[in-house]
Chains A and B, each alone.
Chain A
Amino acid sequence: MTAAELAPLAVVLPFLGAAVTFILIRHSRARRAVSITTLSITLLIEVVMLLAAPSAGTQAVHLGGWSAPFGIVLVVDQFSALMLVISSAVSLAVLVYAAGQGMADGDEDGPVSIFHPTYLILVAGVSNAFLTGDLFNLYVGFEILLTASYVLMTLGGTAPRIRAGVTYVVVSVVSSMLFLIAIAMIYGATGTINLADLAVKLETVDPATQMVLHLMLLVAFGIKAAVFPLSFWLPDSYPTAPAPVTAVFAGLLTKVGVYAMVRVETLLFPGDRINSLLMVVALLTMIVGILGALAQSDIKRLLSFTLVSHIGYMVFGLAISSRVGLGAAVYYVAHHITVQTSLFLVTGLIERRGGTANVDRLGGLARLSPLLGVLFFIPAMNLAGIPPFSGFIGKLGLFQAGVELGTPLAYVLVAGGVATSLLTLLVMARVWNRAFWRSPGDAEDPDPILLASKADGSSVGTSRHVTGEATGRFSGRNPVTLLPPTMTGPTIGLVGLGLALTVLAGPLFTLSDDAAQEMLDRTPYIEAVLGPGADG
């Protein structure tokens, strides 16, 4: 039995966990225990798969004993194994954070109880999308994660969430329809929907038809990945969701779109026919996204714009499509999932501590809670690409690939990447200056919670009980812990994971480089699915 044969468990376990938590919907403690245990086991299995991946090469699991072009296959290669491990680690951290928030606030009744089952279904959908070797199964994986995300997005059903949820659902459904239409046309053109089989058969299709199919898939995935002209929906809808939900959406959902784009570009339609188009799109995504971030004052919205902007870096690496570029893009995806999620989690903590996520109304957080300062500072600098951190390593790899390519457009792209990096630093410095450094009194209409705690004269701690009367947001409620260890713990863990990506950059970069080579070769994937000698 090889490690890759464990792959179905990565999808099945979260589903089982979802079923069990659904049964336990009235028992909050048991529900938390089940969901956290399930995700921990899933993560463990995926780590085993990742460790085995470099030596085992690409492995395929034929589900239900159906042989390749007819049945559904799950394919484990280094790229999918890495994505699985990172996504599960991040979703585990967010789950613990959300459970900690629930414990701290006592929100055990009402619609929040649906959170655990839905969240596990989301994780199952993400794992399915990363593993599948079948185009229609990829569509199903997307639909599983999207349907779960609709529920999470509108959790509680308040007016702002319903408003944002409508936009989100309609845009997602339209992109799914485009994907479905593309699948129908691809089936009409080739008579198969198995990715490996398609890789062989699409080469015989007329180039003009190929181009139509290629662009339709890219538009469908581009909407999901929030690539520039198709990214308008993201900053509109993400910020209204609860903090842990936004964090996991920002980390995972767009990256599933990027993952699908990478697969389409490398496996189905290799070659550089539309690389210039991708480069222009990457440049615009980076620049327009970060300029949008500059105008925002709500940290969640600001981070949503930086999220869009940094998707541009991944498309950049994909557009270069050399081994170096693709490898750097793979590394960058792993880096960005971790860092963006930790920033959103920290924003959730800032909102608790400062009463708002609007930088104009925040101040003095560095003095009120130095821990929060450190937790924000590290991922913020990491995102901006300041040297010791993983963001710098990823960007350096991308720029190196761009310079190696040496075309004028590639140089423009490198310049755009550097400018975006500097603008990200500016955006992060603005948040830092306002929310953390200036005194709370300088803030515009600060939440009483910022000023109240100072006057208490009590020491600055990470966890503090505030009574209802002194606080704005929590008024009329029982005393709450502002920064409970159950919420700071997972955040620290995730920031630590971001640092680990820096420390382990050597082996990780080798891994992503090998993954890129494996994808560019295509033969290992095709032979793993269809058997040796199938690559026509």
Chain B
Amino acid sequence: MTVNITLIVLMAAFFAAGIYLLLERSLTRVLLGLILIGNGANILILAMSGGAGQSPLYVEGRPAEDYTDSLPQALILTAIVITFAVTAFMLGIIYRSWVLGREDAVQDDPEDRRVADQSSYDYEDDADIPADTSEFTAVDAGALGDAEATADIRDTRGADAVGGAASRNGGGAGRPDPTATQKRPGGEPR
């Protein structure tokens, strides 16, 4: 197989420039980088087709080696169409990103930042389990009272639910009620 050195150098230049642009934070440059890499890949396919030859139209008596390998050109054509579609779509979302936020840069994921910043202590999982889990104690009254006190802030429908839930919860199975333990009057401090 013969290899065309010009094509290889061109491909390397495209890849180098493409990867440099891809690592930028500006979306337009990222897109330009992707286009360059796409074209570099197409040139690579062309370089792999093994040199130019006669056009692949059947002529009687011509040996098979004289024809150009037409398959890589078909592959390149398909790849160009695909890159074209993706480029058009990328331009669309870059424009949309600009319209929405006047921002042409890759943005951080807010939820990811939030999870990274949260403390490792989790109230629900790591809090001490209260020792007193017996049913029908003073806890019930306390929990109910607290819930009603906080309910002033909420709308009436919400308040009923909180009150109902708290009393049901305290009177039910021995499951600790966080609001009860936290705000129990006279209870041991957490």
> Is residue A441 contacting chain B, with contact meaning CB distance below 8 A?
yes
Confirm or deny: A386 has a beta carbon within 8 angstroms of a beta carbon on chain B: no
Q: Which residues of A contact B96 (CB under 8 A)?
A: 154, 157, 162
Within 8 Å of chain B (Cβ to Cβ): is A508? Answer: no
Contacts of B112 in A (CB 8 A): 235-236
- A169-B89, A183-B75 known; A448+B158 contact, CB < 8 A: yes
Are B179 and A441 touching (Cβ within 8 A)? yes
Q: Does chain A have a CB within 8 A of B22?
A: yes
Q: Are B164 and A454 in contact (CB under 8 A)?
A: yes
* CB of A451 within 8 Å of the partner chain: yes
Given contacts A174-B22, A174-B34, contact A239 B111 (CB under 8 A): yes
Nearest CB in chain B: distance from A321 CB, A: 30
In chain A, what residue has the closest Cβ to B78? A140
In the assembly, what is the distance between CA of A454 and CA of B118, in Å? Answer: 31
**A180 contacts which chain B residues (CB < 8 A)?**
38, 41, 45, 79
Q: Does A110 contact B (CB under 8 A)?
A: no
In the assembled complex, B139 has its CB within 8 A of some CB on chain A: no
One of B30, B85, B100, B155 near A162 (C-beta < 8 A)? B100
- Contact pattern, B 116-143, Cβ under 8 Å of A = 1, otherwise 0: 0010000011000000000000000000
The answer to whether B97 and A166 touch across the interface, beta carbons within 8 angstroms, is: yes
Set B72, B75, B169: member contacting A439, Cβ < 8 A:
B169
- Whether A369 is near chain B, meaning CB under 8 Å from some CB there, is no
Instruction: Tell me if A181 is interfacial: C-beta within 8 Å of chain B.
Output: yes
The verdict on B109 contacting chain A, using a C-beta distance below 8 Å, is yes
**Residue pair A184, B161 in contact (C-beta under 8 Å):** no
**Bound Cα distance A239, B114 (Å):** 15
Judge whether B1 is part of the interface by a CB distance below 8 angstroms.
yes
Decide: A451 near B161, CB < 8 A? Known: A173-B34, A181-B44: yes
Q: How far is the CB of B153 from chain A (nearest CB, A)?
A: 12
Chain A proximity mask over B66-107: 1 for CB below 8 Å, otherwise 0? 000001100100110010011001100110110011000011
In the complex, chain B residues 150-169 whose Cβ is within 8 Å of any chain A Cβ: 154-158, 160-162, 164-166, 168-169
Is the pair B107, A163 in contact by a Cβ cutoff of 8 Å?
A: yes
A104 to B90, CA, bound (A): 32
Q: Check if B90 sits within 8 Å of A169, measured CB to CB.
A: yes
Q: In the complex the two chains form, is B125's CB within 8 Å of A430's CB?
A: yes
- Which of A57-65, A246-254, A295-303, A401-409 makes up part of the contact surface? A295-303
Determine the distance from Cα of A386 to Cα of B161 in the docked complex, in whole angstroms.
35
**Chain A residues whose C-beta falls within 8 Å of the C-beta of B147 in the assembled complex:** 441
Bound CA–CA A441/B87 (angstroms): 49
In angstroms, how far is the closest chain A Cβ from the Cβ of B54? 18
Contacts of B106 in A (CB 8 A): 166-167
CB of B63 to closest CB in A, whole Å: 17
A213 to chain B, nearest CB (A): 12
Residues of B within 8 A of A151 (CB): 89
- Residues of chain A with a CB closer than 8 A to B100's CB: 157-159, 162
Q: Is the CB of B34 within 8 A of A162?
A: no
What's the nearest-Cβ distance from chain A to residue B152, in Å? 14
B48 within 8 Å of A (CB atoms): yes
Question: A147 at interface (Cβ–Cβ under 8 A)?
Answer: yes
- Chain A residues 160-209 with CB under 8 Å of chain B are 162-167, 169-170, 173-174, 176-177, 180-181, 183-185, 187-188, 193
**A373 interfacial by beta-carbon distance below 8 Å:** no
Give B30-63 as 1s and 0s: 1 = Cβ < 8 Å from A's Cβ atoms.
Answer: 1000100110010011011100000000000000
Q: Is the CB of A177 within 8 A of B41?
A: yes
Determine whether A434 belongs to the interface, using a CB cutoff of 8 Å to chain B: yes
Q: Is A411 an interface residue (CB 8 A)?
A: no
14 contacts between A and B (CB under 8 A): A164-B109, A170-B34, A173-B90, A180-B45, A184-B45, A187-B45, A187-B71, A187-B72, A430-B125, A441-B161, A441-B166, A454-B165, A455-B158, A455-B161
Known: A166-B106, A183-B75, A441-B179. 20 other contacts (CB 8 A): A136-B75, A157-B100, A164-B109, A174-B37, A177-B41, A184-B41, A184-B48, A188-B47, A193-B71, A239-B111, A297-B115, A301-B115, A440-B162, A440-B165, A448-B158, A451-B154, A451-B158, A451-B162, A452-B161, A455-B156
Identify the A interface with B (CB < 8 A). 136, 140, 143, 147, 150-151, 154, 157-159, 162-167, 169-170, 173-174, 176-177, 180-181, 183-185, 187-188, 193, 235-236, 239, 295-298, 301, 364, 430, 433-434, 439-442, 448, 450-452, 454-456, 470
Nearest first, the 3 A-B pairs at minimum CB distance are: A188-B48, A439-B165, A454-B161
Q: Report which B residues bind A (CB closer than 8 A).
A: 1, 22, 27, 30, 34, 37-38, 41, 44-45, 47-49, 71-72, 75, 78-79, 82, 85-86, 89-90, 93-94, 96-97, 100-101, 106-107, 109, 111-112, 115, 118, 124-125, 147, 154-158, 160-162, 164-166, 168-169, 177-179
